[in-house]
Amino acid sequence: MTDIKKPARVRFAPSPTGHMHLGSARTALYDYLLARQTGGQFILRIEDTDRKRYVPGAEQELMDGLRWLGLEWDEGPDKGGPYGPYRQSERKEIYLKYANQLIESGHAYYCFCTPEELAKVREEQQKRKEPPHYPGTCRNLDPAEAARRVAAGEPHVIRFKTPKEGQTTVKDLLRGEITVDNRTLDDYIIVKSDGWALYHLAAMVDDFLMKITHVIRGSEWLPTLPLHALIIRALGWEEPEWVHLSVFLKPSGKGKMSKREATDLVKSGHSIFVKDLQELGYTPEGVVNWVALMGWSYDDHTEFFTMEELIEKFSLEHLNPSPAAINFTKLDHFNGLHIRALPLDELASRLKVYFEKAGLAADDATLRKIAPIIQERMVTLDESVELAGFFFRDTVEVNPEELVAKGLTPEESLLAARRSLEVLSSLTEITPETAEPPMRALVEELGMKPGQVFGILRVAVTGQRVSPPLFESMEIIGREKVLERVQLAIGMLAEMVAS
RNA sequence: GCCCCCAUCGUCUAGCGGCCCAGGACGUGGCCCUCUCAAGGCCAAAACAGGGGUUCGAGUCCCCUUGGGGGCACCA
């Protein structure tokens, strides 16, 4: 273990093809933590060489998601940096330059096979139960002849000339050395017929030129890791440290989540998309804490982490290589924890948007008063609306039946309400301090249970069976409205008794 | 089919040869607190996939089996 770590340059390199999901969020988080911890740089690079898959708006959503999570980058497409451009679609010529270098050094070659021909070959290979692979038709074409055909404008791609003999060994930080027989590797295409480089080339070139020290990416890249190492070596460069993160499995643990499953999930109040999580009332603190612990751990008992603590304590050594099932129940737990850890002013201001979305005009002063009494009652921020929406409504809707307390008759409930009104109206101000003692005395006098009498008032004043603490709520609602609502409830009860 | 990776409670995990008849957390069950709901406190049930080695000693190292996951595109 080295105590003094060299500044790491790490990159988060998503392709703008859809919504940012948890897997990306975790990769970006680890990138960020490593960069901040070592005093290095966190770089955002957009891998958009495939124009067909480009989704407008995806890049913006990516950046919004990262910022929401608190992962601000040092270099990126929107802010530049010394190694730009940071969008691969703006680096086409750079990749071509290195592809040509590979051709000149004999590590790559032009291939004129058409997709149709290759599809046919693949089909036959499948039939013979062989692994699909490039048959090598153009591998040994005379380079001069190939160059002539290219110059003549014949459609072509560029393939990497993978050695047929020997083995390649690469070191992954979590798994140690990984060795494969080169014959199991294919002559992968590195430049398409439209002139755009593929990931295998583009990412390697960029990582080198951008001086990336650690490549943290998903384990779906493990099978092509030897290829990447071969390309880097053929270019005469040093490999970065390789860190392949395990994949996330669906909650059942049975495989990756499909697109369909991911979409359906939202209906249950959960989602694997960062954008949804935000709308569902999750906090970035909660999401970060949760996601950090899926594949990484600090010790045998610490689980609550702020971003600052993660920066301090994160270590690549404690990464776990095995796949992890997503556990949303645990996200709920962490979110609750972080909501409770929020300063009240902060909580209050974050709540506002959820009330507004529900059409409620939530003023800052009231919000600030509500915050402390609902803080420990929420799993997600949006729950504040159903819990405390009544604070912002002029009237409450009361179900008369709910005014009858459990174990009491309507007559008894009516009596309790009337006597309560007497007590409450005798006060010049209703607060927990002024109202609770006389109300408890009343409960005793009536020979009822606190839950019964307070329950009647709760429904009368809030319209809900479940609410924040009664007297605290009354104080916020204010004496006038409280008396008015209790009066209304008495009317309802009286009507019930009469009929 | 071929290649690669992984394997501790239901789930996330601690464990890097003796400190482990395996610790924490979520969830679950029970109790306490209590004006509802929460929060909080206490307690409980719950795991080293199987088989061979190596070693004085294996959850920890090696091999095999089994299981799971990922990959095999002119996607990333």
Q: Rounded mean pLDDT of A439-465?
A: 96
Give A80's DSSP letter.
Answer: B
Q: Are A191 and A95 in contact (CB under 8 A)?
A: yes
In angstroms, the CA A22 to CA A276 distance is: 11
Statement to judge: residues A143 and A225 lie in one domain: yes
Interatomic distance A304 CA / B24 C1' (Å): 12
Say whether pLDDT at A359 is over 90.
yes
Length of chain A: 499
Judged by C1' against the alpha carbon of A194, the nearest nucleotide is B74
Q: Kindly give, in sequence order, each residue whose CB lies less than 8 Å from that of residue A180, ignoring residues fewer than 6 positions away.
A: A167, A168, A226
* A170 strand-pairing partners: A178
The tally of domains found in chain A comes to 4
Largest separation between any pair of C-alpha atoms in chain A = 106
Which conformational region is residue A404 in: left (phi greater than 0), alpha (psi within -120 to 50 degrees), or beta? beta
Are A376 and A353 within 8 A, CB to CB?
no
pTM score of the predicted model: 0.95
What is the per-residue pLDDT across A196-244, written as a single tens digit (0 to 9) for each? 999 999 999 999 999 999 999 999 999 999 999 999 999 999 999 999 9
Task: Check whether residue A454 has its CB closer than 7 Å to nucleic acid strand B.
Answer: yes
Assess whether A133 (CB) lies less than 7 A from strand B: yes
pLDDT of A284-318, one tens digit each? 999 999 999 999 999 999 999 999 999 999 999 99
Give dist(CA A174, CA A383) in Å, integer. Answer: 40
For residue A116, tell me if it sits in a domain.
Answer: yes
Tell me whether residue A191 is in a domain.
yes
Do residues A290 and A330 lie in contact, with contact meaning Cβ atoms separated by under 8 Å?
yes
Q: Contact, A246 vs A320, CB < 8 A?
A: yes
Which residues neighbour A221 within 8 Å (Cβ) at sequence distance 6 or greater?
A: A228, A244
For residue A176, the cross-strand partners are A172
**What residues are paired with A181 via a beta bridge?**
A167
Residues A149 and A233 in one domain: yes
Rounded, the Å distance between the CA of A288 and C1' of B70 is 25
Residue A272 sits in the same domain as residue A302: yes
Strand B and chain A: which residues 54-93 have CB closer than 7 Å? none
Q: Is A202 exposed, middle or buried (0-12, 13-18, 19+ CB in 10 A)?
A: buried
For residue A324, being part of any structural domain is answered with yes
Residue A427: partners with Cβ closer than 8 Å, 6 or more residues away: A434, A435, A438, A479
Domain boundary among A183, A210, A245: A245
* Separation in Å: B21 C1' and A476 CA: 57
pLDDT for A1 equals 39
Please name the nucleotide lying closest to A192, CA to C1'. Answer: B74
DSSP character string of A48-65: ---GGG--TTHHHHHHHH
Task: Tell if A220 CB is < 7 Å from nucleic strand B.
Answer: yes
The whole-number average pLDDT for the span A448-471 is 96
Domain check: are A359 and A316 in the same one? no
Residue A300, CA: closest nucleotide via C1'?
A: B14
Do residues A226 and A234 touch, judged by C-beta distance below 8 A? no
Answer for A437: CB within 7 Å of strand B: no
Asked if the structure places residue A433 within a domain, the reply is: yes
Q: List the A341 CA – B39 C1' distance (angstroms).
A: 12
Residue at A8 is within a domain: no
What's the CA–C1' distance between A220 and B50, in Å? 29
Domain that holds residue A322: 259-341
pLDDT at A41 over 60: yes
- Which residue type sits at A22? L
> Does A126 have pLDDT greater than 90?
no
d(CA A297, CA A295): 7
Instruction: Quickly state the pLDDT bin for A84 (edges 50, 70, 90).
Output: confident
Q: Are residues A127 and A232 in the same domain?
A: yes
Does residue A208 sit in the same domain as residue A126? Answer: yes
The nucleotide minimizing the C1' distance to residue A224's CA is B71
| Distance in Å, residue A494 CA to nucleotide B36 C1' | 24
DSSP per residue, A64-122: HHHHHHT---SBBTTTB-TT---BGGG-HHHHHHHHHHHHHTTSEEEE---HHHHHHHH
Q: Is the CB of A450 under 7 A from strand B?
A: yes
Q: What is the mean pLDDT of residues A172-193?
A: 94
DSSP A162-184: --SSSEEEEEETTTEEEEEEGGG
Q: Which nucleotide is nearest to A337 (CA to C1')?
A: B39
Last residue of a domain, one of A358, A389, A420: A389
Return the CATH number at A302: 1.10.1160.10
The H or E element containing residue A25 is: helix A22-38
Q: What is the DSSP string of A247-314?
A: PEEPTTSSSPPPHHHHHHHGGGT--SBHHHHHHTT--HHHHHHHHHTSSB--SSS-----HHHHHHH-
Q: What are phi and psi of A158, to 5 degrees?
A: -115, 130
Distance CA A75, CA A61 (A): 17
Residue scoring higher pLDDT (A253 or A170): A170
For residue A150, the model assigns a pLDDT of 96
What integer is the mean pLDDT of A139-155? Answer: 95
Would you say the C-beta of A389 is within 7 Å of strand B? no
pLDDT(A2) > 50: no
Distance CA A345, CA A368 (A): 6
Task: Tell whether A195 and A102 lie within a shared domain.
Answer: yes
Residue A56 included in any domain: no
* CB of A13 lies under 7 Å from some atom of strand B: yes
Of A245, A275, A296, which residue constitutes the final position of a domain? A245
Determine, yes or no, domain membership for A66: no
Quote the pLDDT of residue A255: 87
CA distance A147 to A364: 71
Separation of alpha carbons A462 and A158, rounded Å: 71
- Write the CATH number for A211: 3.40.50.620
Query: What is the rounded distance in angstroms from the CA atom of residue A429 to the CA atom of residue A411?
Result: 28
- A231/A352 same-domain check: no
The Cα A90–Cα A101 span in angstroms is: 20
Contacts of A87 (CB under 8 A, 6+ apart): A45, A46, A48, A77
Label residues A137-162 b or e (16+ Cβ within 10 Å = b): ebeeeeeeebeeeeeeeeebbbbbbb
Is strand B less than 7 A from the beta carbon of A142? no
Compute CA A2 distance to the chain's CA centroid, rounded to the nearest angstrom: 31
Asked whether residue A221 is assigned to any structural domain, the reply reads yes
Task: Looking at the structure, tell me whether residues A225 and A297 fall in a common domain.
Answer: no
Same domain, yes or no, for A101 and A230?
A: yes
Q: Cα separation of A230 and A211, whole Å?
A: 18
Between β-strands A108-111 and A157-160, what pairing exists: parallel, antiparallel or unpaired?
Answer: antiparallel
Q: What average pLDDT does the segment A466-492 reach?
A: 97
Residues A272 and A320 placed together within one structural domain of the fold? yes
* CATH of residue A364: 1.10.8.70
- A424 and A331 in a single domain? The answer is no
Determine if strand B comes within 7 Å of the CB of A149.
no
Q: Confirm whether any atom of chain B, the nucleic acid strand, is less than 7 Å from CB of A303.
A: yes
Q: What is the mean pLDDT of chain A?
A: 95
Task: Decide: CB of A250 under 7 A of nucleic strand B.
Answer: no
Per-residue pLDDT tens for A91-108?
Answer: 999 999 999 999 999 999
| CATH at A452 | 1.10.10.350
Averaged pLDDT for residues A23-37: 97
Give φ, ψ of A181 to 5 degrees: -75, 130
**Which strand B nucleotides have any atom less than 7 A from protein CB atoms?**
1-8, 10-16, 23-27, 34-40, 68-76
Q: Would you name the residues of A annotated as active-site residues?
A: 259
* pLDDT for the residue numbered A4: 60
Residues 362-381 of A with CB under 7 A from strand B: 376-378
Rounded CA-CA distance A406/A451 in Å is 9
A426 touches strand B (CB under 7 A): no
Establish whether the CB of A340 is closer than 7 Å to any nucleic acid atom in strand B.
yes
Closest nucleotide relative to residue A332's CA, C1' based: B26
Q: Stated in angstroms, how far is A223 CA from B70 C1'?
A: 8
In the prediction, which pLDDT does A86 show? 98
Q: CA at A300, C1' at B56: how many angstroms apart?
A: 30
Q: How far in angstroms lies nucleotide B26's C1' from the CA of residue A334?
A: 9
